[in-house]
């Protein structure tokens, strides 16, 4: 039995203060091997032997059988029992702390076993002076073992199959994914160290809110770090990841209770404080994100941010088609849905917040719903029929919530401000289409939202640009339906492009249209 401050031997002392450094002590602060220590009555030296699991007297307060004086464990004089060496009075220490003698693997494995099966025993065997560095090293080792165990099944599968990138075993894809898994394991170490330190700090902070705990912050760190032995269960497929987190918390509570000598409820509240705060933060973040998503739902319509993203994708597909076909636009937007024409699907022609569905949008007389169930030959036939159904003087046609206005526009030399796609909800399924904002995609690739209040002005400007380019004017997009594409009803008049256009592009002038 040695002083926790200076390691001075405390046997045969009546005083409860260390003669060397003056630090107070109590026999209750120590754990002994049962029957290995003699507890002497301070009045008559009658010897008694501790028999409980901590080697203490049961009961701890009683009347001396020799002198009849009332005595208590805390005031008795302690000596090693006859024939017992001083080192033998202490129970075997934690195996991890004896790894220099036992070997690293054996010391670690036995300590993990104690963590899983006997956390109270582990707490009682920890030395009076915390050895924090050893506890943190134990945590790091457990983290690495758990991470390796979790990725091993995936790594084995990759080695057997050659990786997700195909090929024979040992293909480059295996090395790439192996490097990714390795980086994940490396990154887990600092993340685990930080989260564990925060957990320990929060736990000790909660303890300090009540009565002063028996030990310092180092003991709390030990309790949290040694509970990580449970994390090795994460390596058990299917079951481990679901059991280990809860078991680890329970183990931390037991370790803290014994290490700091506090009640079970107090230990539970202290240990659970940090996980509860984290879970509460995650739930709050999820609620905020959900609220933001709900709020954004109001901007998913034809003028919203999501609609602009959809429109940009459609516009990119249209211009890419022209680039791949020597400047020729699709004769009908249905050509964008043909195999190998683009990456578009029928669902992209319908806005998320629109009442339009793929069953309401048509290519010719076939709905997008039915179109995507056809084979390539049948798709080509449907698109060809839709092309033939368009009038020769078409200026705009509709598919879903998009009006395609590129007809007649020079894909190479025309002004970049000319509209090629207009995103406007299908009036056949959206009664309020005319009162909603509109998103336009210009030939330059620029995407712009037009507020309903500004629509008339913007359309007039656009038709001025079209007139200067020798193109027929565009109507309001909600007048263009699947059954009624827009036509050039009359020869376009020659109108100068409006000056001071807010949409004017910066940089070099674009080529003027050929007369």
DSSP characters over 154-201:
HHHHHHHHT-TT-SSTT-HHHHHHHHHHHHHHHHHHHHHHHHHHHHHH
Q: Which helix (H) or strand (E) holds 311?
A: helix 305-324
Query: What pLDDT score was predicted for residue 378?
Result: 95
- Alpha-carbon distance of 367 to 359, in angstroms, equals 5
Mean pLDDT per segment of 10 residues, for the chain of length 515 residues? 83 91 89 89 93 88 94 93 82 85 90 91 83 93 85 66 48 61 81 93 91 85 93 79 89 92 91 93 90 60 67 93 94 93 87 90 94 93 96 95 96 94 94 86 94 93 95 94 86 45 43 38
Per the CB < 8 A criterion, the answer to whether 397 and 477 are in contact is no
Query: What pLDDT score was predicted for residue 121?
Result: 85
- Alpha-carbon distance of 438 to 304, in angstroms, equals 9
pTM more than 0.85: no
- Alpha-carbon distance of 328 to 306, in angstroms, equals 28
Omega before 59 within 30 of 0, i.e. cis = yes
Q: Is 138 exposed, middle or buried (0-12, 13-18, 19+ CB in 10 A)?
A: buried
Query: What pLDDT score was predicted for residue 236?
Result: 77
Query: What pLDDT score was predicted for residue 111?
Result: 93
Structure tokens given for 230: 């449970």
Q: What are the residues facing 394 on neighbouring strands?
A: 487
Query: What pLDDT score was predicted for residue 129?
Result: 79
**CA-closest candidate to residue 350, choices 304, 308, 401:** 401
Query: What pLDDT score was predicted for residue 31?
Result: 84
Structure tokens given for 184: 């994940």
Query: What pLDDT score was predicted for residue 301?
Result: 47
Query: What pLDDT score was predicted for residue 509?
Result: 39
């Amino acid at each position: 039995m040695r002083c926790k401050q200076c390691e001075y031997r405390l046997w045969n002392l009546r005083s409860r203060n260390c003669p060397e450094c003056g630090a107070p002590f109590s026999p209750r602060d120590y754990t002994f091997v049962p029957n290995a220590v003699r507890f002497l009555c301070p009045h008559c030296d009658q010897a008694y032997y501790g028999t409980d699991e901590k080697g203490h007297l049961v009961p701890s307060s009683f009347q001396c059988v020799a002198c009849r004086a009332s005595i208590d464990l805390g005031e008795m004089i302690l000596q090693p029992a006859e024939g017992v060496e001083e080192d033998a009075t202490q129970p075997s220490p934690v195996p991890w702390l004896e790894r220099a003698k036992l070997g690293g693997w054996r010391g670690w494995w036995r300590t993990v076993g104690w963590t899983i099966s006997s956390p109270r025993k582990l707490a009682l065997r920890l030395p009076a002076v915390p050895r924090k560095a050893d506890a943190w090293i134990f945590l790091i080792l457990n983290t690495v073992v758990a991470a390796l165990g979790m990725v091993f099944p995936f790594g084995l599968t990759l080695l057997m199959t050659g990786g997700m990138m195909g090929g024979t075993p040992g293909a480059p894809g295996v090395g790439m994914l192996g490097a990714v898994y390795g980086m994940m394991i490396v990154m887990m170490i600092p993340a685990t160290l930080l989260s564990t330190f925060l957990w320990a700090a929060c736990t000790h902070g909660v303890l300090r809110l009540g009565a002063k705990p028996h030990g310092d912050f180092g003991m709390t760190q030990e309790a949290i770090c040694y509970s990580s032995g449970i994390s090795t269960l994460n390596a058990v497929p299917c079951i481990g990841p679901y059991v280990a987190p809860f078991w680890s918390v329970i183990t931390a509570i037991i370790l803290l209770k014994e290490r700091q000598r506090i009640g079970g409820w107090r230990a539970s509240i202290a240990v659970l404080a940090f996980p509860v705060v984290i879970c509460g933060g995650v739930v709050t973040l999820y609620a905020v994100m959900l609220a933001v998503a709900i709020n954004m739902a109001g901007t998913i319509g034809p003028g919203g941010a999501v609609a602009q993203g959809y429109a940009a994708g459609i516009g990119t597909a249209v211009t890419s088609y022209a680039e791949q076909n020597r400047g020729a636009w699709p004769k009908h937007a249905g050509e964008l849905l043909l195999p190998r024409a683009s990456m578009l699907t029928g669902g992209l022609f319908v806005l998320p917040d629109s009442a339009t569905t793929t069953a309401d949008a048509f290519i010719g007389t076939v709905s997008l719903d039915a179109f995507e169930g056809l084979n390539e030959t049948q798709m080509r036939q449907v698109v060809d029929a839709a092309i033939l159904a368009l009038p020769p003087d078409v200026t705009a046609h509709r598919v879903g919530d998009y009006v395609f206005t590129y007809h007649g526009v020079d894909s190479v030399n025309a002004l970049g401000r000319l509209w090629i796609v207009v995103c406007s909800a299908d009036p056949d399924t959206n009664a309020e289409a005319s009162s909603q904002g509109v998103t336009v995609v210009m030939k330059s690739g620029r995407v712009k939202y037009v507020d309903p209040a500004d629509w008339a002005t913007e359309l007039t400007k656009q038709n001025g640009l079209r007139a200067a380019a020798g193109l027929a004017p565009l109507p309001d997009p909600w007048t263009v339906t699947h059954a009624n594409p827009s036509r050039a009803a009359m020869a376009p008049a020659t109108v100068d492009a409006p000056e001071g256009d807010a949409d004017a592009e910066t940089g070099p002038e674009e080529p003027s249209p050929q007369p």
